[in-house]
Amino acid sequence: MSSKRKQTYLVTGGAGFIGSNFIKYLFAKYRDAVSVVNFDLLTYAGNLDNLKELETEPGYRFLRGDISKTADTGSLFDENSFDYVVNFAAESHVDRSILDSAPFIKTNIAGTQNLLDCARRGGVKMFLQVSTDEVYGSLGGEGLFTEDSPLAPNSPYSASKAAADLLVRAAFKTYGSRVIITRCSNNYGPFQFPEKLIPLMIANIIKKKDLPVYGRGENVRDWLYVADHCAAIDTALREGTAGEIYNIGGNNEYKNIDIVNLIIDLMEKRGCGGGKSLIKYVPDRPGHDLRYAIDASKIKKRLGFAPAVDFERGIAMTIDWYLSNQPWLMNIISGEYSRYYEEMYLTKYKNSGEK
């Protein structure tokens, strides 16, 4: 029996899509060597059903709290000593940030600064800020984002994430805090909230509802399977250098309309037909970034990380997961989300768009 002390993690936003996948990744890989506190406010996007399998795991604990409230984080850090902090907690959806930016400013900016202050006082070994390629803004037809690309965010969401990145940088420069920023491209996979493109299309095909494609569907995203993002974060946390930024990407660019058509085809093969007739072009998202594409050579060269799941396999696994977990999906669709959907799609686009 090993008497080695467990590595202690604070994972914020661990009840969300990527955070819950990351916590499960940690237990699958390091089981008895880790102890994890999942600190999450349980907003509309936080769902403890995502972590059911860990409920009886001795090294896992859930605490409800707000990263932007000093009272909540004060007691968290007073009562625990953490080796690692991984900050996933955020408002994460561009369309919601256009409807109302206030929670984005509070959680993504004020929350990150508050956590940085706590982590500094708590003397953590490493604070990893989970950021996004959206801080770089939009690309034209050519080129890739590198870690040196200028910050040029275009939505309230991406601007709030860029602001958080600058606060993380300032903590390093001013206080010598041990911090890392990772900037990842679009994730997909199990447990993603169905407001995002891929699970929204899967859910709507199941329900035989319109498939809303913004503009002409020509926008390009670089898709990465969520388990690969988790592995990259784990690598950066353990092997990365404080003060550095690491881009993470799938080298897997797709136009939105091609993704939608692919999902339709794959679901047709699984007995969910009729998808093509459901495609509905709706007015474009304001400030819609044309293209994201990541140069992930730094994390590969410096830390030896490369994704393991190719898109063909990842999208098939994702569709199969949603088809086998329809109670999870329907539970979300029938709750608060239905009000958002009504406001975002049914009221706004009622008399517009073409099939």
H or E segment and range at residue 84: strand 84-87
- For residue 90, the partner it binds in ligand NAD, ligand TYD, none, with Cβ less than 5 to 8 A by kind, is ligand NAD
| Nearest-angstrom CA–CA distance, 13 and 34 | 18
Check residue 90 for interaction with ligand NAD (CB under 6 A): yes
Name the segment binding ligand NAD (CB under 6 A); options: 35-43, 141-149, 277-285, 316-324: 35-43
Check residue 196 for interaction with ligand TYD (CB under 6 A): yes
Check residue 219 for interaction with ligand TYD (CB under 6 A): yes
Site map for ligand TYD, 76-95, x if CB under 6 A?
A: ------------------x-
Q: Of 200, 193, 146, 160, whose CA–CA distance to 19 is shortest?
A: 193
Catalytic residue among 9, 25, 136, 157: 157
Cα–Cα distance list, 81 to 123, 200, 217 (Å):
8, 39, 47
Question: Judged by CB, which is closer to ligand TYD: 119, or 259?
Answer: 259
Question: Judged by CB, which is closer to ligand NAD: 247, or 261?
Answer: 247
Indicate which single residue of 109, 126, 197, 236 sits in contact with ligand TYD (rule: CB under 6 A). 197
- Three-state SS at 343: helix
Instruction: Determine whether 265 is an active site residue.
Output: no
Check residue 212 for interaction with ligand TYD (CB under 6 A): yes
Name the segment binding ligand NAD (CB under 6 A); options: 142-150, 182-190, 283-291, 313-321: 182-190
Check residue 162 for interaction with ligand TYD (CB under 6 A): no
Q: Which amino acid is at 335?
A: G
| Nearest-angstrom CA–CA distance, 107 and 97 | 12
Indicate which single residue of 10, 15, 200, 319 sits in contact with ligand NAD (rule: CB under 6 A). 15
Distance, CA of 309 to chain centre: 17
Check residue 293 for interaction with ligand TYD (CB under 6 A): no
Contacts 24+ apart (CB under 8 A), 150-155: 154/287, 154/289, 155/94, 155/97, 155/98, 155/287, 155/289
Q: How far is the CB of 129 from ligand NAD (least distance, A)?
A: 8
Residue 258 sits at φ, ψ, to 5 deg, of: -70, -35
| Nearest-angstrom CA–CA distance, 17 and 337 | 15
Task: Give residues 44-73 in contact with ligand NAD (rule: CB under 6 A).
Answer: 45-46, 66-68
Q: How far is the CB of 115 from ligand NAD (least distance, A)?
A: 9
CA atoms within 13 A on the CB side of 122: 26
Residue 139 sits at φ, ψ, to 5 deg, of: -100, 155
| Nearest-angstrom CA–CA distance, 17 and 224 | 13
Instruction: Determine whether 134 is an active site residue.
Output: yes
- Three-state SS at 273: coil
Is the CB of residue 271 less than 8 Å from the CB of residue 199? no
H or E segment and range at residue 323: helix 311-324
Residue labelled with tokens 């949603």: 322
Question: Judged by CB, which is closer to ligand NAD: 240, or 278?
Answer: 240
Binding region for ligand TYD (CB under 6 A): 94, 186, 196-197, 200, 212-214, 219, 221, 256, 285
Site residues for ligand NAD per CB under 6 A: 12-13, 15-19, 40-43, 45-46, 66-68, 88-92, 107, 111, 130, 132, 161, 184, 186-187, 193
Residues involved in catalysis: 133-134, 157
